[in-house]
Amino acid sequence: MKSDPNLSPTTTPYNIRLNNEQPKPTTKYKTTKSWNPFVGCGFDCTYCKPSFGALLKWVGGMQHCPRCQQYLPHEHPERLSRIPSDKAIFVCEDGDISFAKLDYMAKVFQAISDPKFAGRTWFVQSKNPKCLEQYLGLIPRNTYLVTTLETNRDQGYGEISKAPLPSARFKDFSHLDWKKKIVTVEPVMDFDLEVLRDWIVSISPAAVFIGYNSKPDKVSIPEPDKMKLLCLIDELEKRGIRVLTKEMRDCKFVKKAYRDFIE
């Protein structure tokens, strides 16, 4: 096997704990729903267009909302009172709240702060985690803040997304004074093993969600090979970080399912 200069000298393919069980096919956690009083994003990530963007175009057509179809940032105040009854809820999953108005998001967080929802688990995600800082006094404590770190490499990232560069995202997310955090490495892009590992460990997230681009036939991004990704997973787990996987392309090494976080 050809050696990879980015792999840790203490990490070899033999450190990977093998398991022949495949992850359960899923795109969300069990008993988890998406609640979208705000929809849309302006980061134009290339990997979102063939999957997420296409889905929103279809859903927007079904709901007769042209702004949903175009994935333009906009509000759906009629949904503020229609919170799903599921155990865990992704808040504004069909968008990025960094494009939302502060006064409107205050209404969103007021809605989920109702004492009757004390037993719920909320997920709030942004690729611009600095925007979350202004909401920390409004977000209920039973909320996980989430950001994406597909890679640690800034060079060339602007060709993939208009979101803040990975290094800026890492610093902003690290500085958030919030206990419950999750990092998503999805869709994973090629990375420097020790750098990305150390970033994630320093954040001390409750979990890391990892997976490949689910539409490789429609969009191409620079990716690590499977062994390198498995080494990252192993390095994180050895440091006490819980890793859950999504699209692993039939990899026989997968040990856990992406949707098992709330169990």
Domain boundaries, the chain: 13-262
Q: How far apart are CA 211 and CA 254, in angstroms?
A: 11
109-136 pLDDT tens trace: 999 999 999 999 999 999 999 999 999 9
- Residue 191 burial (CB count, 10 A): 24
User: What pLDDT score was predicted for residue 164?
Assistant: 98
Predicted confidence (pLDDT) at residue 237 exceeds the cutoff of 70: yes
% of the chain surpassing 90 pLDDT? 65
pTM summary value: 0.86
Give just the sign of the alpha carbon dihedral 36, 41, 47, 52: positive
Nearest CA to 112 out of 146, 145, 131, 139 is that of 139
The pLDDT, as a whole number, for residue 79 is 95
Q: Cis omega (within 30 of 0) on the bond before 73?
A: no
**Residue 235 Cα distances to 27, 194, 231, 232, angstroms:** 25, 9, 6, 5
**Which residue is associated with the tokens 């009854």?**
85
Contacts of residue 191, defined as CB under 8 A and 6 or more positions apart, other chains included, come to 6, 151, 152, 153, 224, 232
The least confident of 10-19, 138-147, 155-164, 243-252 is 10-19
Three-state SS for 158? helix
Q: What does the angle CA 106 – CA 72 – CA 178 come to, to the nearest 5 degrees?
A: 35
Architecture of domain 13-262: Alpha-Beta Barrel (3.20)
- The 10s digit of each residue's pLDDT in 7-63 is 544 444 434 444 444 434 444 444 568 899 999 999 999 998 766 656 566 565 557
